[in-house]
Homo-oligomer: A and B are copies of this chain.
């Protein structure tokens, strides 16, 4: 064939197959969303409509890729958990991460247009996302990963809530607010909100404090019949009988064990 003398160039291709039998997490992350949110005049500290757009994008991705069994997101990022025996793209890393980045960006633009955020998208300010894959060998790592992201959400939201309250209600410049918060602990920020502005941070919306969780739940999973830590063989036997699944949305605590104990099938 005419191109055969050039085809040797394919031998320079390299690819990474994600280790079998590990839990794959793929995290997509908005590129330059600080400037993006300024340009499109996001409400601070949280823009309800922008969160709806990113949540819908995550949900749609989860609906279109059955191997995703859980998602957690806040601000401009989302983490997706794939089941341990996932064989999507034969676990080829480049295919997985570029497909997630591309598809998530596509949904985001689509929903942005559909939901009519602030103004039409500008070609020089399109929403884009990078993506990375991480593999975890065991359940505890997975729980800790999502705990890490939820703790991060909390810390950022407390900071942002206090910062923007100082600005919008306290009349500070952003520079002044920034300086005011240097070196403060969580307790200090709670105190500022409560004492100076009468805001009880605990009463802030759960979505902002805890992020958004989507779980592909097994309908009627007979949890009570099994101990909370079934062996893999037992679990797979159960799941063969309880195949029906449903994606549910939560804004609950995923750092506490209960969330995970109630859903052993997340570690299938």
Residues of A within 8 A of B (CB): 1-3, 6-17, 19-22, 31, 60, 64, 93-95, 97-107, 109-110, 113, 121, 123-124, 126-138, 140-141, 144-145, 147-148, 151-152, 154-155, 186, 229, 231-232
Contact B1 A155 (CB under 8 A): yes
Chain B positions within 8 Å of A186 at CB level: 2
User: Known: A94-B131, A110-B126, A148-B3. Is A12-B141 also a contact (CB below 8 A)?
Assistant: yes
Q: Are A106 and B109 in contact (CB under 8 A)?
A: yes
Known: A3-B151, A144-B9, A148-B9. A102 touches B105 (CB 8 A): yes
List the B side residues contacting A131 at CB < 8 Å. 94, 98, 102
Complex contact A97–B99 (CB within 8 A):
no
Contact A144 B6 (CB under 8 A): yes
* Listed A/B pairs (16) with beta-carbon separation below 8 Å: A3-B155, A7-B148, A8-B144, A12-B141, A14-B19, A16-B16, A19-B135, A94-B131, A95-B130, A98-B101, A102-B128, A102-B129, A106-B126, A109-B109, A110-B123, A138-B138
- CB within 8 A of A12: which of B9, B95, B134, B151? B134
Complex Cα gap A148–B7 (Å): 6
Q: How far is the CA of A207 from the CA of B80 in the complex (A)?
A: 41
The answer to whether B130 and A6 touch across the interface, beta carbons within 8 angstroms, is no
Residue of B nearest to A145 (CB): B9
Residue of B nearest to A133 (CB): B94
Contacts of A31 in B (CB 8 A): 99, 102
Which residues of chain B come closer than 8 Å to A14, judged between CB atoms?
17, 19, 134
Contact B136 A138 (CB under 8 A): no
**A100 proximity list for chain B (CB < 8 A):** 98
Residue of B nearest to A12 (CB): B134
Residues from chain B with a CB closer than 8 A to the CB of A3 are 147-148, 151-152, 155
Q: Is the CB of A138 within 8 A of B16?
A: no
Interface contact B137-A21, CB-CB below 8 Å = yes
In contact, B9 and A141 (Cβ under 8 angstroms): yes
Determine the distance from Cα of A104 to Cα of B129 in the docked complex, in whole angstroms.
Answer: 11
For A231, the chain B residues whose CB sits under 8 A away are 229
Q: Using A12-B136, A110-B121 as known contacts, say yes or no to A94 and B20 having CB atoms under 8 A apart.
A: no
